Amino acid sequence: MKITKHVSYAEATQTNTGIENIPSGMQMENIKLLCEKVFEPLREWVDAPIKINSIFRSPRVNNAIGGSKNSQHMAMDGCAMDIDDTFGHKTNKEMFEWIKVNLTFDQLIFEFGDDNNPAWIHVSYRKHGNRKQVLRAKKVNGKTVYSKMK
């Protein structure tokens, strides 16, 4: 089943945990909105496939992978995706900058990596009240620390 032109239900709910990962009707609406408002315009700009690492996580899946207790991957009012251009059409930093300048989002996070390129990009979208919050995630003494970016 396709959610949008380039995102399937299987991609949106994939997990390596073996734990059931089924979104509610409201969560599916939010996933579709995220894909329509963020992924599809980005995919059009890249003009090539983009790897989706994660979209929806049930609370059990999120807990099993050590995700944040407040993760937007499982939120009712927002939805998040982690993406990575492992196919080499654009760098993650290029995609990060394009999203920041061209799209509406709630959070955009430069996840780990180095100053030149994040390991992946986290981006979330809400039906209402998107904050356009831009953050950087780094590991400090084994803990993830977030700082604001411009």
- Asked whether 20 and 59 are in contact (CB, 8 A), the reply is no
- Which pTM does this prediction carry? 0.91
- Please report how many Cα atoms fall inside a 13 Å half-sphere around the Cα of residue 134, on the Cβ side: 11
- Please give the Cα distance from 135 to 61 (Å, whole number): 24
- Asked whether 57 and 74 are in contact (CB, 8 A), the reply is yes
Evaluate if residue 72 carries a pLDDT over 90: no
pLDDT of residue 71: 77
Q: What is the distance of C-alpha 71 from the center of its chain?
A: 11
Q: Which tokens hold the place of 132? A: 């356009």
Domain count, the chain: 1
Q: Which tokens hold the place of 145? A: 């620390």
| Helix (H) or strand (E) run with residue 96 in it | helix 92-102
pLDDT of residue 66: 82
Evaluate if residue 85 carries a pLDDT over 70: yes
Q: Residue 54's domain spans which residues?
A: 2-148
CATH no. for residue 77?
Answer: 3.30.1380.10
Quote the mean pLDDT of the chain.
Answer: 92
